[in-house]
């Protein structure tokens, strides 16, 4: 059991040695998706149990490796909300919660060591909880709407990054389908990622290191 009075955990991918231009950038903005979809900021106290239940489902436990109990999720969500690195939110369809998404500042993330990052770059991790909706065309419909709104809310953002595990064929096909450019496979501390970018303009495709 995690002690509820312990300090909030350090987010494992967040970089701490940052140039001032990166450090000064605020947290990601929560998108406002067109109906019938919607997005809202996570409430750790009321949403942690549901997110924990989702992330312990076999398809998400394998893809995310975050099959944690509710209390650990509550602390992890609070740690995100306490800083400027990332923001967790829930997506819904026709008023029903269907997915969990994290937006993060890519220049503050470990992936920044693998490409030419800009301070306002965003990164995204997303999960659809309901297995009845997986591979049913929901993600290809929702993701372009998310990307459109993210660029509208973040005028200085040049690109959105995706970093699925190199073995996650479904996620790779999705980001390729919506038009992301591939920046190669990169060995990280605990995995090999496939790095992708969705640029605001073709000129915003970065070089990888």
Q: How far apart are CA 105 and CA 122, in angstroms?
A: 5
Cβ count near 86 (within 10 Å) = 23
Task: Calculate helix-pair angle for 169-177, 138-153, nearest 10 degrees.
Answer: 60
Phi, psi for 151 (deg, rounded to 5)? -65, -35
Is the C-alpha dihedral spanning 142, 148, 153, 157 positive or negative?
positive
**Catalytic center residues:** 163
Q: How far apart are CA 87 and CA 60, in angstroms?
A: 19
């Amino acid at each position: 059991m995690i002690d509820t009075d312990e300090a909030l955990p350090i987010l494992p991918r967040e970089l701490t040695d940052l140039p001032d231009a990166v450090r000064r950038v605020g947290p990601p903005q929560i998108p406002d998706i067109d109906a019938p979809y919607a997005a809202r900021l996570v409430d750790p106290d009321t949403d942690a149990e549901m997110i924990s239940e989702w992330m312990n489902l076999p398809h998400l436990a394998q893809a995310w490796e975050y099959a944690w109990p509710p209390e650990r999720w509550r602390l992890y969500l609070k740690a995100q909300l306490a800083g400027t690195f990332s923001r967790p939110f829930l997506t819904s369809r026709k008023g029903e919660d269907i997915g969990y998404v994290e937006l993060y500042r890519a220049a503050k993330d470990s992936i920044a060591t693998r490409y030419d990052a800009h301070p306002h770059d965003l990164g995204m991790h997303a999960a659809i909880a309901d297995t009845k909706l997986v591979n049913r065309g929901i993600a290809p419909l929702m993701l372009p709407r998310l990307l459109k709104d993210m660029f509208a809310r973040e005028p200085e953002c040049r690109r959105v990054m995706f970093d699925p595990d190199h073995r996650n064929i479904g996620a790779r096909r999705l980001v390729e389908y919506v038009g992301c450019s591939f920046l190669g496979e990169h060995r990280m501390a605990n995995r090999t990622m496939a790095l992708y970018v969705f640029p605001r303009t073709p000129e915003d495709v970065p070089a990888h290191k």
